[in-house]
Amino acid sequence: MSDLQKNLAVYLEQTLSPQAQIRKQAEASLLQLEKQPSFAIFLLTLIGSSQCPDHVRISAALYFKNYIRRSWEQTDNTEDIISSQDRLSIKKDIIALMITLPTSIQLQLGEAISIIADCDFPSHWPSLISDLVSQFSPLNIQVNFGILQTAHMVFNRYRSEFRTDMLFSEIKFVLNSFFKPYFEIFVSTDQLLLSCTDPNSGKILLDSLKFLIIIYYDLNCQDLPEPFEDNMPQFMDIMHRYLTFDSIASINPNLSALDNESDESTGILVNIKAEIFKVVQLYTNRYEDDFKQLPAFLDTIWTMLTSLDSNPKHDSVVVQGILFLTTMVKNIRYKSTFESNSMISTICEKIVLRNIELSESDQELFEDDPIMYVRRELEGSEVETRRNAAAGLVHGLLQYFGSETTQTMLHFIMNMLDQYSKNPTENWKAKDAAQFMVTSISAVASVKSLGITQTNTLVDLADFYQSQMLPHISNVHSDSNCPILKSNAIKYIYVFRNQLPDSYLEQAFPYIVEHLSHPNPVINTFAALTLERLMILKKNNSLVFGESKISPYAQNILEKLFNNILSISTSEKMAENDFFAKLIMRTIISCRNGISNLAPALFEKLSIILKNVCINPSNPLFNHFLFESIASLSRFTCKNNPTAVESIESVLFPQFQIILENEISDFMPYTFQILSLLLTLHKDKLHLSPVYISLLQPILQPILWDYQGNIPALVGLLQSYFAVNGQQIAQNGQLEPILGIFQKLISSKANDHYAFALLSSIVLYAPLNLLSSYFKAIFMLILNRLQTKKTPKFVKAFTQFIGFFCSIDVNLSQAYENQEGGYSNQLVTVMEQIQPQLLSNLLSNVLLDSFPTISSVNETKYTSVGYFRLVNSLEYIRVTNYEILTPKVMSSVIKLIEDTGSKLKTLKSEEDDADSEKNLDDIDINDITYQSSYSKLATLDNLKIDPCAKISDPRIYIGSEIKNKLKNNDTVIQTILLKLSPQEKAYIESYTKLS
678-720 confidence digits (pLDDT tens): 999 998 888 899 999 999 999 999 989 988 899 999 999 999 9
In whole numbers, what is the pLDDT of the chain averaged over residues? 92
pLDDT in the model for residue 904: 58
The answer, yes or no, to whether residue 534 has pLDDT greater than 80, is: yes
Q: What angle do CA 242, 246, 247 make, to 5 degrees?
A: 90
pLDDT, tens only, 471-519: 999 999 999 999 999 999 999 999 999 999 999 999 999 999 999 999 9
- How many CB atoms sit inside 10 A of residue 162's CB? 7
pLDDT, tens only, 109-143: 999 999 999 999 999 999 999 999 999 998 899 99
Distance between CA 913 and CA 452 in Å, rounded?
30
Q: Taking residues 767-791, what's their average pLDDT?
A: 96
- How many CB atoms sit inside 10 A of residue 636's CB? 22
At 262, the pLDDT band (50, 70, 90 cuts) reads very low
At 569, the pLDDT band (50, 70, 90 cuts) reads confident
| Contacts of residue 564, Cβ cutoff 8 Å, sequence gap at least 6 | 516, 517, 524, 577, 580
Phi-psi region of 821 (alpha: psi -120 to 50; beta: other; left: phi over 0): left
The answer, yes or no, to whether residue 939 has pLDDT greater than 60, is: yes
Contact 43, 63 (CB under 8 A): yes
At 906, the pLDDT band (50, 70, 90 cuts) reads low
pLDDT in the model for residue 265: 43
Bridge partners of residue 443, in order along the sequence = 455
The answer, yes or no, to whether residue 816 has pLDDT greater than 90, is: no
991, HSE (Cβ side, Cα atoms, 13 Å): 25
- Burial classification of residue 643, based on how many CB atoms lie within 10 Å of its CB (0-12 exposed, 13-18 middle, 19 or more buried): exposed
Contact 758, 715 (CB under 8 A): yes
At 171, the pLDDT band (50, 70, 90 cuts) reads very high
pLDDT in the model for residue 918: 61
Q: Taking residues 886-902, what's their average pLDDT?
A: 92
**Per-position DSSP letters for 472-530, written without gaps between them:** HHSSTT--TT-HHHHHHHHHHHHHTTTTS-HHHHHHHHHHHHHGGG-SSHHHHHHHHHH
- Full-model pTM: 0.90
Q: Taking residues 966-993, what's their average pLDDT?
A: 95
Distance between CA 600 and CA 68 in Å, rounded?
48
Distance between CA 624 and CA 603 in Å, rounded?
16
Query: Which pairing describes strands 542-543 and 538-539: parallel, antiparallel, or unpaired?
Result: antiparallel
Distance between CA 605 and CA 221 in Å, rounded?
53
- Burial classification of residue 359, based on how many CB atoms lie within 10 Å of its CB (0-12 exposed, 13-18 middle, 19 or more buried): middle
The answer, yes or no, to whether residue 726 has pLDDT greater than 90, is: yes
Q: Taking residues 748-776, what's their average pLDDT?
A: 96
What are the Cα distances from residue 210, in Å, to 95, 206, 397, 833?
21, 6, 31, 70
pLDDT in the model for residue 79: 77
Q: Taking residues 806-835, what's their average pLDDT?
A: 88
pLDDT in the model for residue 311: 87
Distance between CA 666 and CA 935 in Å, rounded?
10
Please name which of 689, 697, 684, 595 lies closest in space to residue 636, comparing C-alpha atoms: 595
The answer, yes or no, to whether residue 348 has pLDDT greater than 90, is: yes
Distance between CA 546 and CA 590 in Å, rounded?
7
Say which residue, 534 or 640, is predicted with more confidence: 534
- Percent of the chain whose pLDDT exceeds 70: 95
The answer, yes or no, to whether residue 932 has pLDDT greater than 60, is: no
Q: Taking residues 157-173, what's their average pLDDT?
A: 95
The 8 Å CB, 24+ separation contacts for 5-10 are 5/42, 5/45, 5/46, 5/49, 7/33, 8/33, 8/42, 8/43, 8/46, 8/60, 9/46, 9/52, 9/56, 9/60
Q: Taking residues 445-459, what's their average pLDDT?
A: 85
Compute φ and ψ for 872, nearest 5 degrees.
Answer: -105, 5
Query: Which pairing describes strands 443-447 and 451-455: parallel, antiparallel, or unpaired?
Result: antiparallel
pLDDT in the model for residue 930: 41
The answer, yes or no, to whether residue 657 has pLDDT greater than 60, is: yes
Distance between CA 491 and CA 377 in Å, rounded?
9
CA end-to-end distance (rounded Å), the chain: 76
Contact 803, 845 (CB under 8 A): no
At 413, the pLDDT band (50, 70, 90 cuts) reads very high
